[in-house]
Each structure stands twice: as structure tokens, then as C-alpha cells.
Structure 1
């Protein structure tokens, strides 16, 4: 009978080096692809401004906020935009202190 090794942690992100994860690299690659596809529609005087803008947007989306270091700014912005603003949920401050 064969024995299989079961990974102990399957939800961990793949880290490429100390600062960048695979998800971050894919997001930056997607922004680079977006730039290459849309650069023909931008006036030639504004190519550098457009590139700098996309670099800044990419850095902002990859940054991890201090309030929730397990999520990226992109995920925090998506949660803020998608949440139902007509509902209310109380925050249990005692639970946060226990963790």
C-alpha cells in the first residue's frame, strides 16, 4: 500500500522572496499587461505619466494595511465596496483583546 504525504498547511501563500508573494507578482504582471494593451490609446506625451500611475496603483494594491496584515489593500477595498451599507454589525472589542 502506498503512503501519501499530506501537507500540513494548504492555505499559506507562496512566497517568492522576503517581500513579494506569488499573488503580488501576478497582480503586477496583470498591470504590466494592461499597460501594454492600452498604451496605444494614450497620447504619446502621457506614456510616462500613465506608466508611473500604474506603478503607483500597483504598489498601493499590493500593500498590506496595518489594520489587517493578512489581507492586501486590494481585498480591503473590494470588501469596502461590496459590503451592504444598510446593515450594521457590532464590534466586540473584548474579543479582539483576547486574540
Structure 2
């Protein structure tokens, strides 16, 4: 897999997200969400869920877990995804043919 497959999967996932998204909350999540509603003094639960997604995303990027997951599944990093090209493409390493070590010193 690579950068093109990741782009396709992100686009597909984005188009599959319904607006609004329905959630089934377990008891623990419901209790935690109720606490957050009380603490932040808001009646807009969707705002808290959006904040939660933003926080999870930021934490995943900051801890390197995003790169770890992307490298394992797509063989790219988040920086490569953002730039739209792999490190090899950025540095030009994919432009040169591979060396043939067996024939390297033959005259």
C-alpha cells in the first residue's frame, strides 16, 4: 500500500461519514460525557464530541502513533500524507536506478 491508497481510503471514509453521526454510548462513556457536560456547562453534546475527536487526533499525531499506524498499514508517514509525496520522492532518491553490486567493479 502507499500514498495513493491512503488518499483513496481517507476520501472514501470522509464520504461515508453521515451528518449527523449516530453513536451508541456505553455506560462508562455516558457517565464521562455527562461529567463533561456539567463541567463545561454546555447543552451541546456534539461540541464535546468534536473536542474529543480533535484531542484524540492531536494526541495520536503528537505521540507518533499516527506515523506508526500509517507506516504499518500504508508504508507512509503523516508528513508524507500532508505533503502528497514520499520522502524518496522529496529527496529524489527514486530517480536513480538501483546499483548492480555484482557488476559494479567490472570493466
TM-score bracket relative to the smaller structure: under 0.3
TM-score normalised by the chain length of structure 1: 0.28
When you count helix as a share of all residues, which structure comes out higher? 2
Greater RCO (Cα-Cα under 8 Å, separation 6 or more) = 2
TM-score normalised by the chain length of structure 2: 0.27
